[in-house]
Amino acid sequence: MIRFAFLWLCCVSAASAGDWPEFRGPGQQGHSDEKNLPVTWSETENVAWKTDIDGLGWSSPSIVGKGVWITTALENGKSLRLVGLDRDTGKIVRDVEVFQKEEPGKIHGKNSHASPSPVIEGDRIYLHYGRHGTACYTTSGEEVWKTELTYEHRHGPGGSPVLFQDLLIINCDGTDTQYVVALNKHTGKEVWKKLRSENKEDPGRMAYSTPILTMVDGQPQLISSGGEWTIAYEPATGNEIWRFRYPKGYSNVPRPVTGFNMTFVSSGYDNPVFYALKLGGQGDITDTHVAWKITKGAPRNASPIIVGEEIYIVNDNGIATCFDAKSGEQHWQQRIGGDFSASPLYADGRIYLLDEKGKTTVIAPGKEYTALAENELPGRTLASISTADGSLFFRTDTALYRLQKK
């Protein structure tokens, strides 16, 4: 029997209950144990604090202890910064320039030069800005190491790094080369690097996804979506375990999720297909391990979320769909409206769906669509919501909010 468990100790060994140390939280799937969270809010309701943030960044807040950490880019990407805020007051306590770039290049209109989320472990903060650079800093704002990973990220930086034991692992899927790399988290030196394809006649494509760690038959696997393929690696060595191909898939953004002996992935632009893949395979599983798939309503940007026995997706045009995770049977489909890039959050028995214009639709999980609230804040919103200390941490293009019941 295949068993699954999230690598809590490997990924966030220094994080305590209630922390949110990386993109999509400590379990890497958008789940929180926080209680007593607000259902409704506005500029004047349930706002504990609001702090203006200079520049632009779409990294989600990473929270450990009293520290809230984000990245931002000033001067159209020339100054790439790390910003730390006090969780209780919202006061900015750290503002450090990590990299300075004379020619940062162009980015997609939905992206920023500071989109990957920080990963926090103990007093270390791991930062990735695509080809602009990768770094480790202390929570006191001191540099530990810096390095640059060579690839052309074209639309700007995307996927966030993950930690496994002593390794910091990053997807580097550019237009020129595509690979996954593991750095020594203490020194920044390369430990292993694996090209997506060794065949120059059959190269991969660019992508912007974050890998996920899971356990299969008692062994850890790193499941990594890139352009053309989703590939599973041994995280300690980079040895490939299996690969699944979705021809013509590229610019993949959603982070995979796992459950029920399966992993769930989206094939990317232009016409995404959403796949449920059976785990436990070896080699090329393209023709053997598809449990089910859908071709309509699949997401290009927002990651899926599993709650109970159901899986929920929301596509770029604001159509949300609920399926039975095991069979793919559709329970409901609802047009919420708006455009979606942020990934859903499940917390306090509710699912939070954030669109790109500040509207959050709060729904009850279940086989029937039940909307609980719609809340709006001003500004663009492409960063996913984080949660800690009985609060939601909500980022716009100009500010960071702490939303808390009053």
CATH number at residue 33: 2.40.128.630
Mean pLDDT rounded to a whole number for the chain? 94
- In tens, the pLDDT along 56-88 reads 999 999 999 999 999 999 999 999 999 999 999
Using CB atoms within 10 Å of the CB of residue 4, give its burial: 0 to 12 exposed, 13 to 18 middle, 19+ buried: middle
Q: How confident is the model at residue 247 (pLDDT cuts 50, 70, 90)?
A: confident
> Is the pTM for the entire model greater than 0.75?
yes
Q: How far apart are CA 73 and CA 158, in angstroms?
A: 14
Using CB atoms within 10 Å of the CB of residue 106, give its burial: 0 to 12 exposed, 13 to 18 middle, 19+ buried: exposed
Q: Does 130 score more than 80 pLDDT?
A: yes
Q: How confident is the model at residue 15 (pLDDT cuts 50, 70, 90)?
A: very low
**For residue 164, what are its two tokens?**
């496994």
Q: Does 9 score more than 80 pLDDT?
A: no
Average pLDDT over residues 274-292: 98
Domain annotation covers residue 231: no
**For residue 312, what are its two tokens?**
């929920």
**pLDDT number for residue 375:** 98
| Amino acid type, 118 | P
**pLDDT number for residue 248:** 85
Domain annotation covers residue 143: yes
Number of domains in the chain: 1
Average pLDDT over residues 251-273: 96
**pLDDT number for residue 16:** 52
Domain annotation covers residue 360: yes
Percent of the chain with pLDDT over 70: 96
Q: How confident is the model at residue 203 (pLDDT cuts 50, 70, 90)?
A: confident
Q: How confident is the model at residue 202 (pLDDT cuts 50, 70, 90)?
A: confident
Average pLDDT over residues 368-384: 98
Cβ atoms of residues 243 and 230 within 8 Å: yes
Q: Note down the domain range covering 99.
A: 11-198+307-403
Q: Does 12 score more than 80 pLDDT?
A: no
Instruction: Please state whether 116 falls in left (phi above 0), alpha (psi between -120 and 50) or beta.
Output: beta
Q: How confident is the model at residue 1 (pLDDT cuts 50, 70, 90)?
A: very low
Q: Which of 131, 134, 142, 94 is nearest to 118 (CA)?
A: 134
- In tens, the pLDDT along 297-315 reads 999 999 999 999 999 999 9
**pLDDT number for residue 17:** 56
Average pLDDT over residues 165-192: 98
Average pLDDT over residues 334-355: 97
Cβ atoms of residues 359 and 352 within 8 Å: no
Q: Does 342 score more than 90 pLDDT?
A: yes
**For residue 333, what are its two tokens?**
């489909």
